[in-house]
Amino acid sequence: MAQPTSQQPHQGLLIIRVALSILLLIHGITRAYLGTVGGFGEFLSGNGIPLGLAVAWFVTVFELTASLVMASGRFVTPIALVFMSIYACGIWLVHWSQGWFVVGAGRGGMEYSVLIIACLAGLAWAHRSDF
């Protein structure tokens, strides 16, 4: 079996960082394109989040911009930490009550968000010296 080169861990992290950035970017693009930022803001306000519409716009703009910056390898740790907070809030507000599974044995659960948070935590840890 071939021994890993010193570049392989970096290349693996690059794949995870870019793929995750694309997923997060698509999330923001979809909300902006469909014009659902207002509905997201109403949902947040209805769940006790102050200034729900402002928070919804922050999250959307953050997804649209920070995902591209993170994909480039810049400011990975602080961006990942903010995204982790956003996804943790999503679990708290939506997914926790739906159980674990997103599809199959359940609907709308938290497994996808937990995976996203785990990937973000790994990226934040790997890039912590850049912070």
Look up residue 3 and give its DSSP letter: P
Query: Greatest CA span in the chain, whole angstroms?
Result: 56
Q: Is residue 6 part of a domain?
A: no
CA distances from 97 to 2, 92, 93, 100 (A): 46, 8, 8, 9
**Helix intervals (H) in 6-98:** 8-34, 37-46, 52-71, 76-90
What total of structural domains would you count in the chain? Answer: 1
> What pLDDT is stored for residue 7 in this prediction?
76
Q: What is the reported pTM?
A: 0.91
Residue 3 lies in a domain: no
For residue range 79-93, list pLDDT tens digits in order.
999 999 999 999 999
Structural domain contains residue 91: yes
Residue 2, domain member (yes or no) = no
pLDDT digits (tens, 9 = 90+) for 23-75: 999 999 999 999 999 999 999 999 999 999 999 999 999 999 999 999 999 99
Q: Which domain holds residue 61?
A: 11-130
Task: Give φ, ψ of 108 to 5 degrees.
Answer: 75, 20
pLDDT bin (cut points 50, 70, 90) of residue 8 is confident
Residue 131: per-residue pLDDT:
64
CB atoms within 10 A of CB 41: 20
Say yes or no to pLDDT of 3 above 90.
no
**Separation of alpha carbons 59 and 39, rounded Å:** 13
Question: Over the stretch 110-131, which tens digit does the pLDDT of each residue have?
Answer: 999 999 999 999 999 999 987 6
